[in-house]
Amino acid sequence: MMGGDRGGMLQGTRRGHIDDEVFGSVYNRRVVLRMIPYMFRYKGFAVIATLSMLVFTGTQIAVPWLVAIGIDEYILSDATFGQLTVLFAVFVGVAGLNWVSNYAQQLAMAKVGQGILFGLRRDMFGHLQKLSLSYYDKTEVGRIMSRVQGDSGQLQEFMALVVMTLGDMLSLAGIVVMLMVLNLKLGLISMVTIPILIIIMAFWQPYARKAFMRVRVAISIVNGALNENITGIRVVQSMNRQDRNMEIFDGKNRDHLGANLFASRLSSGLIGVVDVLTAVSIVLALTFGAQMILNNELEVGALVGFILYIQRFFDPIRNLTMQYTQLQRSMASGSRIFDLLDTPLDLEDAPDAVELPRLRGEVEFRNLNFSYVPEEPILKKVNLHVNPGETVAIVGPTGAGKTSMVSLLSRFYDVPRGDGAILVDGWDIRDVTRNSLARQMSMVLQEPFLFSGTVRENIKYNNGDVTDMRMIEAAQAVNAHNFIMRLENGYDTYLAERGVNLSLGQRQLLSFARAIVADPRVLILDEATANIDSYTEVLIQRALQNLLEDRTAIVIAHRLSTIRGADKIVVLNLGEVVEEGTHDQLLARNGLYSRLYAMNYASIEEPLELAGRADGDS
């Protein structure tokens, strides 16, 4: 957007995407505390999820115990058919309670999780809308999308992870208690494999963490390559680069495949180890349990219950291992989300900001200094006065500071106190509300941006209360009405993303109509005719004669046809105003403007050193 004005600002501000993949600690107090308000909105469902989890865990633990009782107290004791029917009913009741509690738990957790996701995305979108352009200058769009989509989705699982982790821990504790209740000696014997599992887990966890991180980094690289090549598809096809890009993408895709396969091998390896340890524990229980049955120290049903409990004992351990890594990712995602939400708003209205009255259109830049990066000034002691209704053209080489001036006037950035001021009708724009300023000022950029929606919605955009008559008048004023009426559905024609189903010139005409539909007092044209065809430029030039009447206009342009008729031309170079006057006056001075004119504004890529400073042209 800024061209060369902010080129140096971006140096050193972009970090690698790998930073985004770092895992957090399994518990982050800051993230948990910030999550509480989001969860509290759904506290009823959170309570239901927790209670359901407790019931579900209880039914899971009860089944082996009921089997043991059924064998010892009913089957081996010659129970009557009626007693067996009661036992059957109890089993069916426990199974039904298990199903109902699990269903309620899953439903409640989904409600809480989706509610948290909704709240987080809503708050992030609202905050992103308020951040100044300086934030977007330093932050890639992909990184922002990762926050809003990936990280919020990861944090959505936080409540489910907490409930599941608590449930697995309670299940594990309940199983241990039941093993000891059934037979303390056999329970201790069955637990001898636990130290082995702990040692294995201690070695497995660091490798697993690296493997999962490698997967996330690999998919980030694949997504980045995909986004880059789709966005730049015109360049790709124009340079016939498809085959080479395919080779590069295949390499990155293979890295992702390898990372996933390695992570899968690690996970599968752990599952195998758990299965082996489960088998060892069962063999120990059978061996020693059979001997205890022969010695009348244990009943058959109790041994069967032991086997069932051992089979279920390692499942919570395996789940907790996986949930540990997921909790780490959730904490890291939460930390990044709340870092974004805590990004300060550097363009907030002052507490005593006032609403601007209807403007006459006077604009003044007073001793203005500005830089995007400290020690790299973009504008230096700029002074400029624009009378109401006057058209002022700002010209100069690339990087001279032209776009920075109008960006400051539009309050995309704020001028630090002590570095000069920008006044409209005598009001310092830092002392008025941004809304009241924006309502009376419109900008048309070099690259027209239209949103998905109808032509009508795009022209009215932030002025939905204007009448259709006023909308049509705006379109007619910029010579857009005729081509709009030739569209399939006229003003109700749906535009694709960025308006790609229109020509560049048509998109720019709609941008002009959108800019003037609210009758702004100040109109800013930032290279608005640079990329359009000659025919459309003629249409716009004719329209400008009417558009700029009784309206202050600040025009940045290289094409002389756009600026020759300006009331005043201001020449910028290296952030300073070096010349000021009409077209004929500046040509007569034989300074920088004359040189730019001779070059036809076509080949200026670097700031030019002034040959005429000594002649007093500045």
Residue 445 and residue 586 share a domain:
yes
Q: What is the mean pLDDT of residues 356-360?
A: 89
> What is the number of other CB atoms lying within 10 angstroms of the CB of residue 304?
17
Query: Residue 346 above 90 pLDDT?
Result: no
Residue listed under structure tokens 């987080």: 120
Mean pLDDT for 525-529 is: 78
Burial class of residue 529 in the structure, from the number of CB atoms within 10 Å of its CB (0-12 exposed, 13-18 middle, 19+ buried)? buried
Inform me whether the pLDDT recorded for 275 exceeds 60.
yes
Q: Tell me the average pLDDT across 464-472.
A: 88
Q: Which CATH number is 323's domain given?
A: 1.20.1560.10
**Residue 422 confidence class, pLDDT cut points 50, 70, 90:** very high
Is residue 167 domain-resident? yes
CA gyration radius, the chain: 35
Q: 74-88, 104-118, 329-343 — which one is most confidently predicted on average? A: 104-118
Whether residue 60 lies inside any domain: the answer is: yes
Q: Taking the CA of residue 61 as centre, how many other CA atoms within 13 Å lie in the half-sphere pointing to its CB?
A: 22
Query: Would the pLDDT of 103 be above 90?
Result: yes
Q: Are residues 161 and 238 in the same domain?
A: yes
362, part of any domain: no
**Mean pLDDT calculated for residue range 268-286:** 83
Q: pLDDT class for 14, splitting at 50, 70, 90?
A: very low
Distances 481 to 40, 505, 539, 547 between C-alpha atoms, Å: 52, 13, 12, 15
Question: Who has greater pLDDT, 235 or 491?
Answer: 491
Q: Residue 379: which H helix or E strand, with range?
A: strand 376-386
Count of CB atoms within 10 A of residue 449's CB?
A: 11
* Nearest Cα to Cα of residue 450 among 486, 407, 381, 497: 497
Instruction: Tell me what pLDDT residue 12 has.
Output: 39
Residue 423 counted as domain residue: no
Residue-wise burial string across 591-612, b where 16 or more C-beta atoms lie within 10 A, e elsewhere? bbbbebeeeebeebeebbebeb
Last residue of a domain, one of 341, 363, 378: 341
Please state which of the ranges 99-113, 302-316, 411-425, 468-482 shows the lowest mean pLDDT.
Answer: 302-316
Residue 611 has pLDDT above 50, yes or no: no
pLDDT mean over 288-306: 86
The predicted structure's pLDDT at residue 142: 66
Q: What CATH number should be reported for the domain holding residue 599?
A: 3.40.50.300
Cβ-based neighbour number of residue 350 at 10 Å: 11
Q: Do 323 and 469 reside in the same domain of the chain?
A: no
Of 324, 341, 358, the residue at which a domain comes to its end is 341
Q: What is the pLDDT of residue 8?
A: 41
Q: Could you tell me if residue 144 is inside a domain? A: yes
Same domain, residue pair 472 and 326: no
pLDDT for 208-246, tens place per residue?
777 877 877 787 788 778 877 887 777 777 777 888 888
Model confidence band, residue 138 (pLDDT cutoffs 50, 70, 90): confident
Confidence of residue 13 (pLDDT cuts 50, 70, 90): very low
550 domain-assigned: yes
- pLDDT given for residue 113 in this prediction: 84
CB-CB neighbours of 428 under 10 Å: 15
Q: Which residues contact 585 (CB under 8 A, 6 or more apart)?
A: none
Q: What are phi and psi of 467, to 5 degrees?
A: -75, 160
pLDDT at 561: 61
Task: Provide the domain limits for residue 325.
Answer: 3-341
- Could you give the strand order of the β-sheet that contains 421-424, starting from the edge strand earlier in sequence? 376-386, 363-373, 421-424, 427-428
Q: Is the C-alpha dihedral spanning 424, 430, 432, 437 positive or negative? A: positive
Say how far apart CA 454 and CA 514 lie, in whole Å: 13
For residues 84 and 194, membership in a common domain is answered with yes
The mean pLDDT of 324-341, rounded to a whole number, is: 79
- Per-residue pLDDT band for 184 (boundaries 50, 70, 90) equals confident
Residues 236 and 294 in one domain: yes
Whether residue 43 is found in the same domain as residue 163: yes
Report the candidate in 530, 524, 528, 527 with the shortest Cα–Cα distance to residue 551: 524
- Any domain includes 334: yes
Give the separation between CA 562 and CA 540, rounded to whole angstroms: 9
Residue 397 Rama label (left phi>0; alpha psi -120 to 50; beta): beta
In the chain, pLDDT over 70 holds for what percent of residues? 90
Residues 194 and 51 in one domain: yes
Conformational region of residue 65, where left means phi above 0, alpha means psi within -120 to 50, and beta covers everything else: alpha
Going by the DSSP 8-state scheme, the letter that residue 430 receives in this structure is: G
More confident residue, 568 or 212: 568
C-alpha–C-alpha distance, residues 64 and 70, integer Å: 10
Q: What band does 363 get if pLDDT is binned at 50, 70 and 90?
A: very high
pLDDT grade, residue 385 (50/70/90)?
Answer: very high
Report DSSP state, residue 296.
T
Both 124 and 273 in a single domain? yes
Q: Is the pLDDT of residue 96 over 90?
A: yes
Q: Within this chain, do residues 156 and 37 fall inside the same structural domain, yes or no?
A: yes
Task: Report the range of poorest mean pLDDT among 43-52, 181-190, 295-304, 494-503.
Answer: 494-503
pTM for the whole thing?
0.71
Give the pLDDT confidence score for residue 18 in this predicted structure: 44
Pair type for strands 391-395 and 552-556: parallel
HEC per residue, 383-402: EEEECCCCEEEEECCCCCCH
Tell me which residue of 551, 490, 486, 564 sits closest to 522, measured CA to CA: 551
Looking at residue 446, the DSSP 8-state letter turns out to be S
pLDDT at 243: 85
Report residue 600's pLDDT band, with 50, 70 and 90 as the boundaries. Answer: low
Least confident of 246-250, 274-278, 466-470, 567-571: 274-278
pLDDT of 612 strictly over 70: no
> How large is the average pLDDT for residues 350-355?
87
Residues 579 and 483 in one domain: yes
Average pLDDT, the chain: 81
Does residue 161 have a pLDDT over 60?
yes
Domain termination residue (choose one: 301, 322, 341)? 341
pLDDT for 79 equals 65
**90: Cα separation from own chain's centroid:** 51
The pLDDT of residue 109 is: 87
Model pLDDT, residue 353: 87
Question: Do 152 and 9 sit in the same domain of this protein?
Answer: yes
Total domain count, the chain: 2
Indicate the range of 4-18, 160-174, 321-335, 440-454 predicted with least confidence.
4-18
Most confidently predicted of 273-277, 397-401, 473-477, 557-561: 473-477
Token digits for 38?
Answer: 């989001």
Question: Does a structural domain hold residue 290?
Answer: yes
Contact predicate 386/362, CB 8 Å:
yes
Confidence of residue 423 (pLDDT cuts 50, 70, 90): very high
Which of 318, 331, 307, 418 lies closest to 367, judged by CA?
Answer: 418
SS3 (DSSP) at 109 = helix
Q: What is the 3-state secondary structure (H, E, C) of 33-90?
A: HHHHHHHHCCHHHHHHHHHHHHHHHHHHHHHHHHHHHHHHHHHCCCCCHHHHHHHHHH
Helical axes 468-477 vs 504-516, angle rounded to 10°: 130
